[in-house]
Amino acid sequence: MRVAVIGGGISGIASAYYLKQRNIAVDLYESAEHIGGRIGSELLLERWVDFGGKNIGSHYRLFREFARVCGNPEFEYFGINTSQLVNGRVIGISKEGARRFNMLRMMSLCGVDGVCKLYPHARTILKDRRQGVLGSEYFTRIADRYDHLTLADYLKKRCVNHVVRPITIRMNGAEPDECYPGNFGSNLALALDSYEQLRKGMHSLLDAVRFMSGPGLLRISEGHQVTSISNDSATGLVRIGYVYKGQADTAVYDRVISALPALRLASVLEENQPEAASLLRQIRYFPVAVAIVKYQNEVFRKNRRAMVFDQSFPLSNVGAYGINDLDLVRYTFSGRVSRSLVSENSRAEEVIGLGEQIASPYFSLEKNPREAFVYRYLAEGLCAYSSRHHMLLEKIDRALGNIKDFAATGDYRRGASIEACFRAALECVDKVIGVPP
């Protein structure tokens, strides 16, 4: 059996990994010149830094297993350390601080209504981590009951502004009035975790994946853009169309897995499966811009390494790249105001200047020259799902059922975190190949 996996981001890599584990031959198609998608590293001076997904939770079991197989790269502590302005005062939350003190601070930011509504969700996840993904039993019930509301309507303003927004803006690139209670479990699970990052960046892992490829079980076809997926009546197999170096070609497979973000899969299916394409387009993605800047001197103090900004700013978050990288700043621009000020056409220097202007009252940025930076704008950066998302996914799967021996995974299935992408990929492989005995 030979299977095509379309999309070489972490969802596609995870799918290929689970297929390879079952000794099934895989062709991984990636339209860009390199696999990785929204994870990956760039060289900043002599250091590899990650522009996309990089923080790995202590509960990322599937990803950590994969990392072990890929040469067991070294992790470094990242933690949770953040702060925000509340009534003009800078309030810090840190996993390194006293637990009870943090808990009281969070409860005060949530308010009574927020505690009453969020505590049962948090308790459910802490008891059973499997509930902290999209479409879990518990959060499906929450969706059925409350997804006629947005998160901004579901909770009171204090909790929305100080607790919910810092989470949705970071994980979905979306404002609370663009997110729904039934999907919030996948975010809450991340907020209840603590984090590490790969010391040498995600590129070491991507190199290990490339190293495993070859003519045998895993063949990686970079620069190959898939343009269509359909059943081939002559052979009974699945035919994909693709373009490589401007030349169109096709290939047939026993099974095909899409590991594309929903909107990319919609484009591929537009012509042959318009119903599935139109359903996939109901899933929302929002842009995010990330700049990582090296300064001459330290910008942060060890005990205050990050800050989130409210909805009036285009800068959603500024933070130290790592616990010991106090002169290396990661700026993240997402949310409604960011969408109106930062676009594909914005100049990196201007965007970084904007970030510096906003963050400088709180951190040592003045008279601290920039030495170098990397910058990325991702138009479809973060997935914010949809209202009653589980029902939309059921409809999508029914429509995708028109293509035999085909299934789709990705960041819109179980959640956008790297671990959720692994879980969705494993489930997709089980669906397409069958669960091993």
Ligand X SMILES: Cc1cc2nc3c(=O)[nH]c(=O)nc-3n(C[C@H](O)[C@H](O)[C@H](O)COP(=O)(O)OP(=O)(O)OC[C@H]3O[C@@H](n4cnc5c(N)ncnc54)[C@H](O)[C@@H]3O)c2cc1C
- Say which residue the tokens 């979306």 belong to: 174
Chain-centroid distance of CA 215 in Å reads 31
- Say which residue the tokens 């879990």 belong to: 136
State the nearest-atom distance from the C-beta of 360 to ligand X, in Å: 22
Nearer to ligand X, 218 or 378 (CB): 378
CA separation for the pair 105, 123 (Å, rounded): 18
83 phi and psi angles, rounded to 5 deg: -150, 165
Pairing of strands 75-77, 195-198: antiparallel
Fill in the DSSP letter of residue 177: G
State the nearest-atom distance from the C-beta of 60 to ligand X, in Å: 7
Cβ-proximal residue to ligand X, closest one: 9
Contact 297, 371 (CB under 8 A): no
Supply 194's token pair.
């603590």
State the nearest-atom distance from the C-beta of 89 to ligand X, in Å: 28
State the nearest-atom distance from the C-beta of 53 to ligand X, in Å: 2
State the nearest-atom distance from the C-beta of 7 to ligand X, in Å: 3
For the four alpha carbons of 157, 159, 161 and 162, in that order, the dihedral sign comes to positive
State the nearest-atom distance from the C-beta of 410 to ligand X, in Å: 4
Nearer to ligand X, 261 or 355 (CB): 261
Give contact residues for ligand X (rule: CB under 6 A).
Answer: 6-12, 29-32, 37-39, 52-55, 225-226, 259-261, 264, 268, 288, 290, 378, 381-382, 410-411, 416-418, 421
Beta pairing partners, 286: 382
Nearer to ligand X, 7 or 132 (CB): 7
Cβ-proximal residues to 142 (8 Å cutoff; 6+ apart), any chain:
121, 181, 182, 184, 185
Fill in the DSSP letter of residue 72: -
Nearer to ligand X, 53 or 355 (CB): 53
- Say which residue the tokens 């910058």 belong to: 375
Strand order in the sheet with 89-94: 89-94, 81-86, 306-308, 315-320, 328-333, 284-295, 370-385
State the nearest-atom distance from the C-beta of 32 to ligand X, in Å: 4
Nearer to ligand X, 97 or 223 (CB): 223
Nearer to ligand X, 279 or 416 (CB): 416
State the nearest-atom distance from the C-beta of 104 to ligand X, in Å: 27
State the nearest-atom distance from the C-beta of 224 to ligand X, in Å: 6
Contact 257, 432 (CB under 8 A): yes
Quote the strand ranges of 186-246, DSSP E: 195-198, 218-222, 224-231, 238-244
Nearer to ligand X, 111 or 335 (CB): 335
How many CB atoms neighbour CB 88 within 10 A? 5
Contact 78, 319 (CB under 8 A): no
Q: ∠ CA 281-285-291 to the nearest 5 degrees? A: 155
Chain-centroid distance of CA 384 in Å reads 10
State the nearest-atom distance from the C-beta of 115 to ligand X, in Å: 26
